[in-house]
Structure 1
Amino acid sequence: MGAVERGLEIRELECFLVLAEELHFGRTGERLYVSQSRVSQLLAALEQRIGARLVERTSRRVALTPLGTRFLAELRPAYEDLSSTVERARAAARGVEGTLRIGFQGTADTRLMAAIAAFQERHPACTTQILEIPFADPFGAVRRGEVDTAIVLLPVAETELVLGPVFSRERQTVAVSVRHPYARRESVTAAELKETPLIAATAPAPAYWRAAHAPSDVPAPEVRTLQEGLTLVAAGRGAMLLCRPTAEYHGRKDVVFVPVDGLPDSVLGMVWHRDGETARVREFAHALRTC
């Protein structure tokens, strides 16, 4: 092992990771409980170790250099793996106990249930609670501390939330009434959906999230729950995008689910609050990644 490798400081890497998120030396220092000058020292030490600048700093802005961007992309998963390994060792030493509250949106699919089973087998002293979260409020339960983590439909752009394992990538389907012209189709296109009234979630679901799940230029009703949406679909008040597992789970005789061509796949992700990360949450993230 060379001299550079022997001298590698985890604190320098942690400082760079936080600075890459905040792009602000003061806020980085606040999160790390160090002074702004200490942030500068840690970054300088890391840049000297690497031999090139990772961050460009002016009086107006802080930005990653191209090398810094590449370094971040490679460092983040490696750091997360290292942190998870250490935490799993700690958990094994002291045991993971208490209760883990897991929220889910739409339906608890087979991957989620397998992860819960694996987590329970590894940590029998920890109880899991599985709670459905509202369709129209995908992130509220995590923000309010009502659940420790949640499985939600992506995208997620909330700065206070951490996005963990991403899974269940599925082709999207559109729910329509059996009387709708699309009901007799083998598939529909994204362009056609732009001209179709698509039922969307109401606030407090963020606007970007609602737009991702109702990409239409035509006004349509907004709903709080999936059941409200499917009821309006059956009544011919609009169509509704759903991921395939949710469509299968909520199947009904007066609604047809038609595959959609040209839209990004639906994806589920595990999220938790940055201030609420615990050994239980990390261990469940590990179970999801490995199932």
Structure 2
Amino acid sequence: MPELEARELECFLVLGEELHFGRTAERLYLSQSRVSQLLRSLESRIGARLVERTSRRVRLTPLGASLRDELAPAYTALLDVVEAARARARGVDGVLRIGFVGSLDEDLTGLVRAFERDHPGCEVRTVEVPLADPFGQIRDGDVDAAIVLAPVREPGLVPGPAFSEAPLSLAVPARHPLADRPSVPAEELAGHPLIRIAGPAPRYWRDVQSPTATPGGRAIPSGPAAGTIQEALAMVAAGRGAMPLCVPTARRHVRGDVVFVPLTGLPDSALTLVWHRDRATARVRAFARAVAGAVQHEAPDAPVQGAGAVRG
């Protein structure tokens, strides 16, 4: 229905209730002349008078009264349909709990702020999840979704597209033999123990984040297991092992007793948004769409900052 026709019908129905051009104009926030213009336009479309107006009163013609009686229920039903759609759209409100491991960088924080601007009725609360259990709070319903490191092959959990792909660095003690190297090939990890990630994180996921063998199949010695990034870095600083971390994470954890050296020969790390298949609410789906939109706008060939060793 064209907008003008809808306005004409609305004006006619209100006038049919009020039977007064002044009160009709007030209800519709229009001038009386505009009310008269809309009424004349509708009468022209129909081809007959709908309202009789004298200096003393306003009344509907028989045709006008019949049109009002037939039109009012249909018009009310149409408004109800529109309002129901608006209510469904407003389903993206309330609190959305998003888990994350370690810390949120500026891009992810910006994504959260943009999402809240686009959905003013929704508040995003970020919740840190442990490195050793990235999926537990999603399964338990403590968070609605979580931003975790890929890969994700968990029954019942739905991963979104990968994003924030970044090369790896190797965290080593400041006085480690590799600390002054421009880069470290992955094959050399066979000579240095790595800090492992504690359970209950699944084995396949832990082995990707802290590999047990080089790309060539050589075994990598195991160091102690850590439950958080801070625990892992404390172990690195104490000389108990090295730890692969993506370059952005390394930049957010600069400290004087740990050096981050570029690590080559392993796939880039990547993040993904994960949620439970049975708890995909309107809020979760909307946030997943926002993440997917951000992924599409990422520049695939943009250089990654911080390719050299990061020192405290």
Name 2:172's counterpart in structure 1.
176
Name 1:127's counterpart in structure 2.
123
| Aligned partner of residue 241 in structure 1, secondary structure | strand
Shift of the 146–105 alpha-carbon distance from structure 1 to 2, 3 Å rule, reads same
Amino acid of the structure 1 residue aligned with 2:106:
T
Contact 2:148–2:274 (Cα < 8 Å) also in 1: yes
Give matches, 1:177-192, under 5 Å.
177-192=173-188
- Please give the alpha-carbon distance, in whole angstroms, between the structure 2 residues aligned to 1:287 and 1:274: 18
Give 2:140's match in structure 1, choosing from 139, 144, 156.
144
1:93 Cα shift?
3.2
Amino acid of the structure 1 residue aligned with 2:263:
V
- 1:233 and 2:229 matched: no
Give the TM-score normalised by structure 2. 0.63
Contact 1:198–1:219 (Cα < 8 Å) also in 2: yes
Give matches, 1:90-101, under 5 Å.
93-101=89-97
Contact 2:169–2:261 (Cα < 8 Å) also in 1: yes
Give matches, 1:174-253, under 5 Å.
174-216=170-212, 217-253=220-256
Aligned length: 203
- 1:109 and 2:105 matched: yes
Give the TM-score normalised by structure 1. 0.67
Shift of the 90–222 alpha-carbon distance from structure 1 to 2, 3 Å rule, reads farther
Name 1:155's counterpart in structure 2.
151
- Please give the alpha-carbon distance, in whole angstroms, between the structure 2 residues aligned to 1:120 and 1:258: 37
Name 1:71's counterpart in structure 2.
none
Could you report, residue by residue, the CA deviation over 1:26-66 in whole angstroms, capped at 9, with x for unpaired residues? xxxxxxxxxxxxxxxxxxxxxxxxxxxxxxxxxxxxxxxxx
1:95 Cα shift?
4.3
Amino acid of the structure 2 residue aligned with 1:144:
D
- Please give the alpha-carbon distance, in whole angstroms, between the structure 1 residues aligned to 2:89 and 2:163: 29
Name 1:58's counterpart in structure 2.
none
Contact 1:111–1:288 (Cα < 8 Å) also in 2: no
| RMSD over equivalenced CA pairs, Å | 1.5
Contact 1:196–1:218 (Cα < 8 Å) also in 2: yes
Unaligned runs of 5+ in 2: 1-84, 213-219, 295-312
Amino acid of the structure 2 residue aligned with 1:228:
E
Contact 1:133–1:141 (Cα < 8 Å) also in 2: yes
1:287 Cα shift?
1.3
Could you report, residue by residue, the CA deviation over 1:186-243 in whole angstroms, capped at 9, with x for unpaired residues? 1001111133211011110111111111113212100111111101100110000111
- Please give the alpha-carbon distance, in whole angstroms, between the structure 2 residues aligned to 1:108 and 1:145: 21
Q: Percent identity?
A: 55
Unaligned runs of 5+ in 1: 1-88
Shift of the 123–245 alpha-carbon distance from structure 1 to 2, 3 Å rule, reads same
1:90 Cα shift?
7.4
- Please give the alpha-carbon distance, in whole angstroms, between the structure 2 residues aligned to 1:268 and 1:175: 20
- Please give the alpha-carbon distance, in whole angstroms, between the structure 2 residues aligned to 1:120 and 1:114: 10
Contact 1:200–1:214 (Cα < 8 Å) also in 2: yes
| Aligned partner of residue 183 in structure 1, secondary structure | coil
Give 1:280's match in structure 2, choosing from 259, 272, 283.
283
Amino acid of the structure 2 residue aligned with 1:168:
S
Contact 1:99–1:128 (Cα < 8 Å) also in 2: yes
Name 2:216's counterpart in structure 1.
none
- Please give the alpha-carbon distance, in whole angstroms, between the structure 2 residues aligned to 1:188 and 1:96: 47
